[in-house]
Chain A
Amino acid sequence: MEKTKKGNMARLNRWGLIFLIPFTIAFVVFQLVPLVNTVYNSFFENYRSGLKQVGPNFIGLENYVSLLTGGDLILYFLNTMILWVMCFIPQIALSLLLSAWFTNPSLRLRGQRFFKTVIYLPNLIMASAFAMLFFTLFADSGPINNMLMQMGLISEPYSFLTHIWSVRGLVAFMNCLMWFGNTTILLMAGMMGIPADMYEAASVDGASPTQIFFRITMPLLKPIFIYVMITSLIGGLQLFDVPQILTNGTGDPVRSSMTLIMYLNKHLYSKNFGMAGALSVMLLILTGILSLIVFRVSASDAVKKVR
């Protein structure tokens, strides 16, 4: 009897393994091999000048050294972080507010479904199309400038795309607009997971809505909140399409809106796989460190408890 059970288990295990094959192959072919390859490539001088191939010559850590000593990397990292913070703070505030409203049964909001769909819609547009739209809207002779001039607010066109903070503002605004719907839905899922009796108990005890939000919703929402924050941070570090299209790949003015991935993309013109590889590896490490920091700081209670 026991033997057959074991046999069954083994047979079932075999099926488990077979079903794992598609994922494993996909992971190895499309993730692991490129990852190892990237690290390997980062130690070589390997680029094309015109149609002439230079390298690959092994140069050790030279690519890393020139990236780190160039000094630009810090600048592009800061740009990326500034753009992320500018986008994340309004986005999370808006999303928290909306999801608190949507999940609050006492408000009895009408047309919830409709609004949930509407706020998610911007995310369905391709980021590049969205950036192109804004590029046209905010051009010197675009509709926004025309409107502002006709309203008498400005006397001559304000060139949005040649000022540091207006470009950054536009990028942050676009990203915020595209992602707040997504964040709202994630946070709502988290809030709906909080047992209703907690709220009831709180209101019976005479807690105000503000108190309920900060004392009950927020603490219990923490796991989801951290998840949202980390995914948004990783997404933010990989910010590319919106500023790339909006600034035509230049990161103007004076590369103040050049993100890390845009910088990576610059190396692909000369097919500079060595330098691009080194940059990617550093980005990977950076993402790891930042995620760890966020996790440590926001989940400090949980970490303590485990200890």
Chain B
Amino acid sequence: MRKKLVSIMIAGTMTAAMLAGCGGAAEAPAPAPAESAAPAAEAPAAETPAAETPAAEAAAPAGDEGKVLNVEVWNDEFINRVKDHYPGYEATSETAGKIGDVTVNWIITPTKDNAYQNNLDSVLPGNLDASADNKVDIFLVEADYALKYVDADVNVAMPLSDLGITDADLSKQYKYTKDVVTDATGALRGSSWQACSAGLIYNRAAAKEVLGSDDPAEVQKAVADWAAFNETAKKMADKGYKMTSTVNDTYRVYSNNVSAPWVQDDTIVIDDNIKKWVDDSKAMVDAKETTTADLWSDDWSKGFWEDGKVFCYFGPAWLINFSMHADDASSIAGKGGWGLVTGPQGFYWGGTWICAAQGTDNPTLVKDIILTMTTDDAVMEEIAVKDSDCVNNKEVLKKLASDTSFGNAILGGQNPYQMLADGAELVDMSNISIYDQGCNEEFQGAMKNYFAGNATYEEALDQFNKAVVEKYPELKTK
């Protein structure tokens, strides 16, 4: 009898253990009824498009707001900015802190393999129904995919106007940083503290050897447009230098200056400037003036040292300050051997935008964080000085540009701010679409085959079209 009991129990526990695995999915929505009374006011927000969302919630007094602020991030950049510059923030651990009596939870999901976006995709749509302490209040986005989340129909990011942030608050920001997070109806749904306008970062030693001068004005003449750039590439190749480390270095410069979006009437269109990138790059690869390595690969970054023999990289301030191995005394950056010029066309690279999640229960705090971290002159200047971010504030950049003490050691003492400020004015992001990230990635990947001689342009284009339709099944190709 006892044996029987034991075996029943064993069989029972095994079955129960297996069923427990299936229970997970059912648990998630369970807490919803418990707090369904509270968010009754915001329920209609789910159906109504953003423009009409009642601002009632934003106006609610702070006392009634949630006690937990959940922030979705992909690294510790923003955590450190808040820790260093947001008044009243106390860090309690690496991934948690306190602002007054509100607990701040930093939810870090790395960007690798699209994990960050997959995470947002799974939590944001259900955010209105999540329990108060589990609601996402703030999430960060990058420009490449910002439109996906600020879309008016999707409505997962709150329009800043619903939070009570006005255009006047954002008047010192650069226009392109607003274009990136503006939805089709014209509503702004995010804000950034960075203006990542970028330029051509050149190797001073190579410039002296080949062009006879490393003065930015002289170098700019040699790369003023693509024709001049390609001429210079030939000269560099003759002296054993690669013009750029890889064809992907120049891609952003071309793709930021397109005349129309990637997709028109659900059809993928190759812009003239993109085609020009293909033609110019193919010529450069064939002449061994550049390679087809991937960005961030070892083959790409070897030019950060003199032995790599690379003339220039394209990038913004953060690339110069954080990626070029300035802490290694043997690198070119460590010796202050780089210079910065505008280059053939204006462009930007990177930047982090702060969005308020639709359904947040801390609207007042979220508003204050956005205002403080992206519009406050004093905080902006602090960030620029302490963290070397090129901040999204025209006044502050102007001040820094005229301050001679802001020479950058990596750039041999050159003050980059005037150039970066001018560049930020030039960037035009009115042609972005929600398909940009997928199209840009796949296009570079497919063309690599053309450059390497494994495919004709048509074959590579065909591969690109296939890959894009796999990613976005609703699109058509020509």
Contact = CB atoms under 8 A, between A and B. Distances in A.
B22 A51 contact: no
Interface stretch (A17-25, A108-116, A298-306): A17-25
Interface stretch (A210-218, A246-254, A286-294): A246-254
Interface stretch (A82-90, A119-127, A265-273): A265-273
B121 A29 contact: no
Given A25-B18, A253-B449, A254-B455, A51 B156 contact: yes
Nearest to A255: B463
A140 B15 contact: no
Interface in B1-20: 7-8, 11, 14-15, 18-19
How many B residues are at the interface, by size bracket? 35 or more
A49 B148 CA distance: 9
A111 to B, nearest CB: 39
Contacts of B18: 22, 25-26, 29
A51 B449 contact: no
A195 interface: no
Interface string B134-157: 000000000000001101011010
Nearest to B460: A254
B35 interface: no
A96 to B, nearest CB: 36
Nearest to A15: B7
B299 interface: yes
Contact of B299 (A19, A140, A252, A266): A140
A162 B448 contact: yes
Contacts of A52: 151, 153-154
A25 B15 contact: yes
A141 interface: yes
B114 A269 contact: yes
Nearest to B21: A29
A105 interface: no
Given A141-B299, A141-B302, A254-B455, A22 B470 contact: no
Given A25-B18, A26-B18, A139-B297, A50 B154 contact: yes
A164 interface: yes
Contact of A22 (B8, B11, B293): B11
A275 interface: yes
A54 B474 contact: yes
Contacts of A141: 298-299, 302
A14 B408 CA distance: 81
B15 A50 contact: no
Interface residues of A, number: 38
Contacts of B460: 254
Nearest to B474: A49
A222 interface: no
Nearest to B155: A51
B293 A140 contact: yes
B434 interface: yes
Contacts of B14: 22
Contact of B434 (A18, A47, A50, A159): A50
Given A253-B449, A254-B454, A254-B455, A51 B473 contact: no
A72 interface: yes
Interface string B262-300: 000000000000000000000000000001111001110
A296 interface: no
Interface string B369-398: 000000000000000000000000000000
B371 to A, nearest CB: 27
A72 B465 CA distance: 13
Given A140-B291, A252-B445, A254-B449, A51 B299 contact: no
B261 interface: no
Contact of B121 (A21, A51, A275): A51
Contacts of A272: 470, 473
A140 B292 CA distance: 10
Contacts of B201: none
B81 interface: no
A258 to B, nearest CB: 10
A112 B148 CA distance: 59
A49 B156 CA distance: 15
A32 to B, nearest CB: 14
Interface in B107-141: 114, 121, 124-125
Contacts of A255: 463, 466
A196 to B, nearest CB: 43
B23 to A, nearest CB: 12
B459 interface: yes
B99 interface: no
A254 B459 contact: yes
Interface in B404-443: 434, 438
B208 interface: no
Given A51-B151, A139-B298, A162-B448, A21 B293 contact: no
Contacts of B297: 139
Contacts of A254: 449, 454-455, 459-460, 463
Given A21-B15, A270-B472, A163 B299 contact: no
B79 interface: no
Contacts of A15: 7
A136 B299 CA distance: 10
A136 B434 CA distance: 33
Interface in A146-171: 159, 162-164
Interface string A234-250: 00000000000000101
Nearest to A55: B473
Contacts of B292: 159, 162
Contact of B472 (A49, A139, A250): A49
Contacts of B473: 47, 49, 54, 270, 272, 275
Contacts of B470: 266-267, 269-270, 272
Interface of B: 7-8, 11, 14-15, 18-19, 22, 114, 121, 124-125, 148-149, 151, 153-154, 156, 291-294, 297-299, 302, 434, 438, 445, 448-449, 452, 454-455, 459-460, 463, 466-467, 470-474
Given A50-B434, A254-B454, A269-B114, 8 more contacts: A18-B8, A22-B15, A51-B148, A139-B297, A142-B298, A252-B448, A254-B449, A255-B463
13 contacts: A15-B7, A51-B154, A52-B153, A54-B473, A136-B298, A141-B298, A248-B294, A250-B445, A252-B448, A254-B460, A254-B463, A255-B463, A266-B470
**Which 5 pairs of residues, A with B, have the shortest CB-CB distance?**
A253-B454, A162-B452, A51-B154, A50-B148, A266-B470
